[in-house]
Amino acid sequence: MTLLSILDLAPIPQGATAREALHRSLDLARHAERWGYNRFWVAEHHNMVGIASAATSVVICYLAQGTERIRVGAGGIMLPNHSPLVIAEQFGTLDALYPGRIDLGLGRAPGTDQMTLRALRRDPATADAFPQDVLELQALLAPEQPNQRIRAVPGAGSQVPLWILGSSMFGAQLAAMLGLPYAFASHFAPELLLPALRVYRERFEPSAQLQKPYAMVGVPLVAAETDAEARRLFTSTQQSFANMFRGARGQLPPPIDDIETYWTPNEKIQVNGMLGRAVVGGPETVKAGLEALIAETGADELMVASAIYDHGARLRSYEILSGLGLAAARQPALC
């Protein structure tokens, strides 16, 4: 059976604070653990007033401290924003505190805009060194070698599992070449999902971490008691994407009754293009949609992203999903 996991951006709804958003993320992680989800990831984004997970390693520590078994990690760390040594130390520390529970997903994008790149002191050209940085990070997390002069302390020997994240063919090729598990961001780049998975599987080379391809597919999802209720809750996500195209990013808006009154025809086309893999509906609709996605992609794991304004409705969405019988029957993957 296909495993289920959660990507949570610690969304800050309109009228709420970052503190409240982070507390709600922990509450969701605790529920997810009880409901049998495999892992709970947060992502690095900067200068975004609607996302509270910028200090990703700190948030992971908070979530791991407040849970007991669920794997917690980054989906992901934007590695060109950091030195590999610093990330090795951070995640080595997390692994020392919460052994066997930490994942490290790595992305090549900046996770922000060009102006914020400068505030991060990042040279845009550093993205070109992403493959080399992944290898350097991998070496820093590996067992210490004789005469090794640069060490991650903690970190060396922890062998925290690395993932390559992607929304293009580049990540698929790199994950295959390095023999790493691959997570595709079809929650905002659906058109390349199938070609990327094909390239990853065809070119995969076994490694010490992974002997055969392992693919996780990100999917935007809203589940509710009825199709109509789910579609209404989903308008918060649709408004957010429309606002992004308007250059007006903000906090997560409340749902509205008629999304057609909110966006222009062109915005509708753009938003629907980015959310083309979204699964929205009541239990039977969601189950059918996910079973079709699994059959089409052969995904080993689904990572669900649900931006729902009301925290109670967000919890209920994940509870409904956990009860659909899509996950179980095998041990959680550690890759």
> pLDDT tens digits for 50-90?
999 999 999 999 999 999 999 999 999 999 999 999 999 99
Q: Which range is least confidently modeled, 118-122, 146-150, 257-261, 303-307? A: 118-122
Residue 123's pLDDT band, with cuts at 50, 70 and 90, is confident
Q: Report percent pLDDT > 70 for the chain.
A: 95
3-state SS of the chain is: CCEEEEECCCECECCCCHHHHHHHHHHHHHHHHHHCCCEEEECCCCCCCCECCCCHHHHHHHHHHCCCCCEEEEEEEEHHHCCHHHHHHHHHHHHHHCCCCEEEEEECCCCCCHHHHHHCCCCHHHHHHHHHHHHHHHHHHCCCCCCCCCCCCCCCCCCCCEEEEECCHHHHHHHHHHCCCEEECCCCCHHHHHHHHHHHHHHCCCCCCCCCCCEEEEEEEEECCCHHHHHHHHHHHHHHHHHHHCCCCCCECCCCCCHHHCCCHHHHHHHHHHCCCCEEECHHHHHHHHHHHHHHHCCCEEEEECCCCCHHHHHHHHHHHHCCCCCCCCCCCCC
Q: Is the pLDDT of residue 20 over 80?
A: yes
Q: What is the pLDDT of residue 112?
A: 63
Q: What is the pLDDT of residue 328?
A: 39
Residue 332's pLDDT band, with cuts at 50, 70 and 90, is very low
Query: 0.85 cut: is pTM over it?
Result: yes
